[in-house]
């Protein structure tokens, strides 16, 4: 299996034809049931883990509420599976404009929560547009590049895509939400790679991005211009110097590492997980859900979850290589890599290998927007799979 198979010149892909229709029986047969089964297993395992993690909360377990979000996400998964990806390509401008509009509304109209403007309060639900934007962002960027696939070797095409992608990334960064902004950036790079942008152009884009990161982290602060919030700068300092402030900036990661280590091979169980039960570990059901799971279920339980994630990524990559057209392949590539990136960062920050960014653990961390968005993305992947090109 090679990534080159998504190129329009690759063997095994053919352009979409109007005569390609999928009946009800054929539709059901072409669904990736292995992918669907793995996703269901992760959600079920996550609900069980959240029930144990939040069992001792003052308000009781949050597993029921999380199951409700999973139910809503399951409905959207089915709906997304029924929609032809070509529809998103036709309305990509509407998707892009609507996404930017809602993100701008969050910045100007939403109330600040913990110093951030990320949520729109609908009364019964805290709606986080930047989470749903991960999917919509990928749909638009893939459509923009696929429409210009014949000129993809022209540097102006990927640069224009980067410029358009830069706008929502900046809006998310301004909330502030550095973690989600990084997910958007990862999805953008994945789409550029999958669509077939030249290595030279990819290298230039990556170099410019690296210069931007260095400017934000070092050069601008040295000149007296602080782009990051103080707590964000402290998180980065704590990552590079993990033992510098164990009661302050590095407290969260220190407790997280202790929780993972305490789990041992088989875990300490719900009743014996002192880091979680006694609330030593902050954000134990959101940012550090993996750490809580590792303490309660040990290495075996954590490895089981990671293997399920790996299986989902593998099935997602198979969908990329079997896509019917370049647009579908680019969308699938962006969604799969964004999913993998979130797993890597969340697990990495739980064990001290990545800075704390607030990225949730997909399909496990408490949060309706994250759960629904990830299930929606799975539905789009299934839609691409069902309408995938047949091998010659």
Domain that holds residue 49: 3-12+43-386
Rounded CA separation 392/130 (Å): 40
Token representation of residue 53: 């993690």
Neighbours of 7 (CB within 10 A): 16
pLDDT at 112 (0 to 100): 62
- Residue 37 included in any domain: no
Tell me phi and psi for residue 138, to 5 degrees.
-65, -40
pLDDT at 308 (0 to 100): 97
What pTM was computed for the model? 0.87
Rounded CA separation 9/196 (Å): 10
- Residue 172 included in any domain: yes
pLDDT by residue for the chain (392 residues), tens digit each?
444 444 444 444 444 544 344 577 777 888 999 999 999 999 999 999 999 999 888 778 899 999 999 999 999 999 999 999 999 999 999 999 999 998 888 887 766 665 566 777 776 677 788 899 999 999 999 999 999 999 999 999 999 999 999 999 999 988 888 889 999 999 999 999 999 999 999 999 989 888 887 787 777 777 777 777 766 666 666 666 666 655 666 788 888 999 999 999 999 988 888 888 888 888 888 989 999 999 999 999 999 999 999 999 999 999 999 999 999 999 999 999 999 999 999 999 998 888 888 889 999 999 999 999 999 999 999 999 998 854 43
Instruction: Please give the helix or strand (H or E) that residue 127 lies within, else none.
Output: strand 126-127
- Residue 219 included in any domain: yes
- Residue 129 included in any domain: yes
Token representation of residue 377: 């993305």
The residue whose two tokens read 């390609």 is 20
pLDDT at 109 (0 to 100): 72
Cβ atoms of residues 334 and 154 within 8 Å: no
- Residue 217 included in any domain: yes
Token representation of residue 386: 């069902």
Number of structural domains in the chain:
1
């Amino acid at each position: 299996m090679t990534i080159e198979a998504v190129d329009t010149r690759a063997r095994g892909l053919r352009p979409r034809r109007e005569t390609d229709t999928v009946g009800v029986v054929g539709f059901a047969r072409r669904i990736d049931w292995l992918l669907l089964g793995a996703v269901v297993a992760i959600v079920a395992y996550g609900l069980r883990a959240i029930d144990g993690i939040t069992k001792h909360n003052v308000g009781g377990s949050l597993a029921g509420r999380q199951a409700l979000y999973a139910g809503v996400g399951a409905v959207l998964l089915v709906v997304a599976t029924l929609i032809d990806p070509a529809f998103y390509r036709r309305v990509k401008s509407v998707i892009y404009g609507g996404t930017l509009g809602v993100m701008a509304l969050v910045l100007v109209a939403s109330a600040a929560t913990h110093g951030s403007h990320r949520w729109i309060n609908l009364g019964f639900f805290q709606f986080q547009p930047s989470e749903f934007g991960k999917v919509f962002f990928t749909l638009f960027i893939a459509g923009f590049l696929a429409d210009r696939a014949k000129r993809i070797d022209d540097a102006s095409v990927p640069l224009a895509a980067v410029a358009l992608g830069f706008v929502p990334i900046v809006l998310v960064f301004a909330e502030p939400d550095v973690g989600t902004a990084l997910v958007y950036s990862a999805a953008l790079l994945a789409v550029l790679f999958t669509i077939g942008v030249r290595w030279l152009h990819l290298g230039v884009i990556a170099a410019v991005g690296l210069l931007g990161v260095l400017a934000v982290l070092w050069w601008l602060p040295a000149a007296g211009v602080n782009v990051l919030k103080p707590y964000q700068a402290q998180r980065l300092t704590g990552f590079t110097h993990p033992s510098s402030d164990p009661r302050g900036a590095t407290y969260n990661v220190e407790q997280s590492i202790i929780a993972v280590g305490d789990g041992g091979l088989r875990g300490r169980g719900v009743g014996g997980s002192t880091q979680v039960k006694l609330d030593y570990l902050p954000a134990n059901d959101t940012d550090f859900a993996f750490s809580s799971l590792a303490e309660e279920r040990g290495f075996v339980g954590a490895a089981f979850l990671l293997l399920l994630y790996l299986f989902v990524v593998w099935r997602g990559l198979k969908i990329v290589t079997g896509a019917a057209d370049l647009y579908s392949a680019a969308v699938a590539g962006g969604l799969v890599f964004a999913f993998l990136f979130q797993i890597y960062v969340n697990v990495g920050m739980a064990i001290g290998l990545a800075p704390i960014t607030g990225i949730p653990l997909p399909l496990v961390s408490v949060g309706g927007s994250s759960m629904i968005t990830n299930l929606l993305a799975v539905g789009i992947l299934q839609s691409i799979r069902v309408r995938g090109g047949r091998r010659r």
